[in-house]
């Protein structure tokens, strides 16, 4: 344990946490104008002041008082209130003459949207060749006063931060164009179906591994030795990148002094700007929001973990992230909804392994998975069809978070039963299982040697239950079956709700 703590400490030598001034009474950035507070739950209002200072808080019809503790922190809890607003939050203190006011606050549902670039991809796209489907049309229509947006800037820290300077804004075409497309479409759908204001907090960083989003305590307590091993190489690569950057900076300064144009520098290899260090993104981009009461989380990440150093361990790392965040928020098993990553050509071909690890994470309570195999593109890691991904996340939310009786899930693998020279896969959520306009493919089977080969497969109904039966001439007695294991999947199976089967293995 001491060795792990020492290793992680080395990673953060160059990462300095934001310093927080507590001289004046102050609210965190997340409690800004245009905020959404979680309805029907006690809502925490907190901030900083001089130690011992008495604080008065007013919101709607509630008035509360608090006293700052020895380090200047204070908090009050608002009683649960139903959907409403806009309201004003006011904070006064005995030592500060200026009253803090936060206006246009709504009571609704708050969702955190996190992950890497597929969650972070904005409505405007990344560049002219990487655009969101119908992006400009969607931006033009993005005027939703009941939808509020907050974008957390990219930042790292060696210790958990308690605040961020990022603030809320009303959803307009101007603010939506730079906001997560998946999160925007998800929030828009929930606002429409649930008839409540929706607050969306986007906190993403492209190309980052899951372990950067987990607190160090949870990494160590879960004994994720794979993260520690990976971190050694990450730290070594980052040190080299920092050295190269220092040389570039000296060259830039010399050119500036000489009155010359700035030199063009080659890209720095393996430069992750501290974002790959274990815990670095949890500390800076998640920790500031763990006091904020939320409805749930949506998550889109995993592409960076489809790598030899991480893929085999994602089955342990990803559930650790979910349990860590639930522990940090201390709100029980709130809904955690995630995307099973799409098709993509990326050797070595480990995407199926990561997708199956995501599927297995559904064993945790109140989790839901949006399968995206059928919207993926072989040559583009950023599929443009973010509307379909968001709609599937929203369907999970409507069932899991809001209790609607709708089909919300893709078919889920239940078990496999060997039957002589064939093997049968059983599923839940499999009503109407079919392969529209194509043959059933991307199915493989293996014998005891666990060497998978392509199989002939068909859908077969057993006592009104849809199953998949597979055989292969070279596997006389099949023991295992899997589907969608290659990076790129081209054959899709849908249930009656039009949700596609995701990658799975019975192995």
Report how far residue 235's alpha carbon sits from residue 158's, in angstroms, rounded to the nearest whole number.
13
Look at the block and give the residue holding tokens 């369907």: 395
Which pairing describes strands 62-67 and 54-59: parallel, antiparallel, or unpaired? antiparallel
In this structure, the number of other CB atoms found within 10 A of the CB of residue 435 comes to 17
Q: How confident is the model at residue 346 (pLDDT cuts 50, 70, 90)?
A: confident
- DSSP character for 380? B
Counts of helices then strands in the chain (DSSP H, E): 11, 21
CA dihedral of residues 240, 244, 249, 255 (deg, nearest 10): 170
- DSSP character for 284? I
Per-residue pLDDT at 14: 44
Report how far residue 113's alpha carbon sits from residue 187's, in angstroms, rounded to the nearest whole number.
10
Please determine, for residue 19, whether its predicted confidence score (pLDDT) is greater than 80.
no
What DSSP letter does each residue of 175-217 carry, written as one string?
A: HHTTSBHHHHHHHHHHHHHH-S-EEEEEEE-TT--GGGGS-HH
C-alpha of 5 from chain center: 26
Please determine, for residue 257, whether its predicted confidence score (pLDDT) is greater than 60.
yes
Query: Do 36-106 and 108-222+274-400 share a fold?
Result: no
CA distances, 297 to each of 109, 110, 180, 441 (Å)? 11, 9, 14, 33
Per-residue pLDDT at 9: 53
In this structure, the number of other CB atoms found within 10 A of the CB of residue 396 comes to 24
Per-residue pLDDT at 234: 94
What is the b/e burial string over 231-262, where b = at least 16 CB atoms within 10 angstroms of the residue's CB? beebbebbeebeebeeeeeeeeeeeeeeeeee
Please determine, for residue 16, whether its predicted confidence score (pLDDT) is greater than 90.
no
For the chain, the average pLDDT equals 94
Beta carbons of 359 and 351 less than 8 angstroms apart: no
In this structure, the number of other CB atoms found within 10 A of the CB of residue 282 comes to 28
Q: How confident is the model at residue 7 (pLDDT cuts 50, 70, 90)?
A: low
For the chain, domain boundaries: 36-106, 108-222+274-400, 412-505
Per-residue pLDDT at 97: 77
Please determine, for residue 4, whether its predicted confidence score (pLDDT) is greater than 60.
no
Left (φ > 0), alpha (ψ -120 to 50) or beta: where does 429 sit?
left
Please determine, for residue 3, whether its predicted confidence score (pLDDT) is greater than 60.
no
- The encoded tokens of residue 329 equal 């928020």
Report how far residue 213's alpha carbon sits from residue 302's, in angstroms, rounded to the nearest whole number.
12
Please determine, for residue 169, whether its predicted confidence score (pLDDT) is greater than 60.
yes
Q: How confident is the model at residue 375 (pLDDT cuts 50, 70, 90)?
A: very high
Fold of 108-222+274-400: Rossmann fold (3.40.50)
The two most distant CA atoms of the chain are separated, in Å, by 83
Per-residue pLDDT at 11: 54
- The encoded tokens of residue 201 equal 């907090």
Q: What is the share, in percent, of the chain residues with pLDDT greater than 70? A: 95
- DSSP character for 8? H
Per-residue pLDDT at 434: 97
> Which of 3.30.110, 1.10.1760, 2.60.40, 2.40.128 would CATH assign to domain 36-106?
2.60.40
State pLDDT tens for residues 178-225.
Answer: 999 999 999 999 999 999 999 999 999 999 999 999 999 999 999 999
């Amino acid at each position: 344990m001491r060795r792990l703590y020492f290793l992680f400490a080395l990673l953060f030598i160059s990462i300095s946490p934001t310093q927080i001034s507590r001289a004046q009474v102050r609210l965190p950035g997340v409690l800004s104008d245009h905020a959404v507070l979680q309805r029907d739950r006690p809502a925490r209002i907190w901030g900083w002041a001089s130690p011992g200072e008495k604080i008065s808080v007013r919101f709607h019809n509630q008035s509360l008082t608090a006293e700052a503790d020895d380090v200047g922190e204070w908090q009050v809890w608002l009683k649960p209130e139903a959907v409403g607003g806009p309201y004003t939050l006011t904070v006064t203190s005995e030592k500060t003459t200026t009253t803090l006011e936060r206006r246009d606050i709504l009571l609704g549902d708050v969702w955190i949207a996190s992950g890497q670039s597929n969650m972070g991809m904005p409505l405007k796209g990344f560049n002219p060749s990487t655009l969101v489907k119908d992006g400009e049309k969607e931006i033009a229509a993005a005027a939703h006063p009941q939808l509020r947006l907050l974008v957390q800037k990219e930042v790292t820290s060696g210790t958990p931060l308690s605040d961020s300077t990022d603030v809320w804004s009303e959803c307009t075409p101007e603010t939506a164009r730079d906001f997560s497309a998946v999160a925007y479409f998800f929030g828009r759908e929930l606002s429409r179906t649930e008839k409540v204001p929706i607050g969306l907090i986007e906190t993403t960083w492209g190309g980052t591994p899951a372990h950067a989003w987990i607190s160090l305590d949870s990494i160590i307590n879960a004994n994720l030795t794979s993260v520690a091993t990976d971190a050694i190489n990450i730290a070594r690569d980052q040190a080299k990148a920092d050295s190269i950057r220092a040389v570039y900076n000296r060259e830039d300064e010399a050119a500036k002094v000489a009155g010359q144009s700035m030199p063009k520098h080659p890209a720095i290899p393996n430069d992750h700007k501290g974002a790959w260090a274990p815990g670095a993104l949890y500390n800076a981009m998640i920790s500031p929001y763990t006091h904020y009461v939320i409805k749930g989380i949506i998550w889109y990440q995993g592409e960076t973990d489809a790598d030899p150093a991480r893929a085999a361990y994602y089955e342990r790392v990803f559930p650790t992230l979910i349990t860590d965040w639930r522990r940090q928020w201390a709100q029980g098993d709130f809904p955690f909804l995630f995307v099973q990553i799409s098709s993509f050509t990326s050797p070595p071909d480990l995407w199926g392994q990561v997708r199956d690890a995501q599927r297995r994470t559904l064993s945790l309570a109140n989790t839901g998975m949006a399968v995206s195999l059928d919207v993926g593109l072989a040559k583009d890691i950023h599929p443009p069809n973010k509307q379909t991904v968001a709609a599937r996340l929203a369907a999970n939310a409507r069932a899991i978070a809001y209790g609607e009786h709708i089909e919300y899930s893709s078919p889920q693998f239940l078990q496999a039963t060997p039957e002589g020279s064939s093997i049968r896969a059983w599923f839940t959520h499999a009503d109407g299982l079919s392969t529209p306009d194509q043959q059933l493919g991307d199915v493989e089977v293996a014998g005891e040697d666990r060497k998978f080969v392509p199989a002939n497969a068909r859908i077969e109904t057993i006592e009104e239950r849809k199953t998949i039966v597979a055989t292969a001439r070279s596997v006389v007695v099949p023991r295992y079956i899997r589907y969608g294991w290659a990076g790129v999947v081209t054959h899709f199976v849908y249930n009656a709700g039009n949700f596609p089967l995701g990658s799975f293995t019975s192995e």
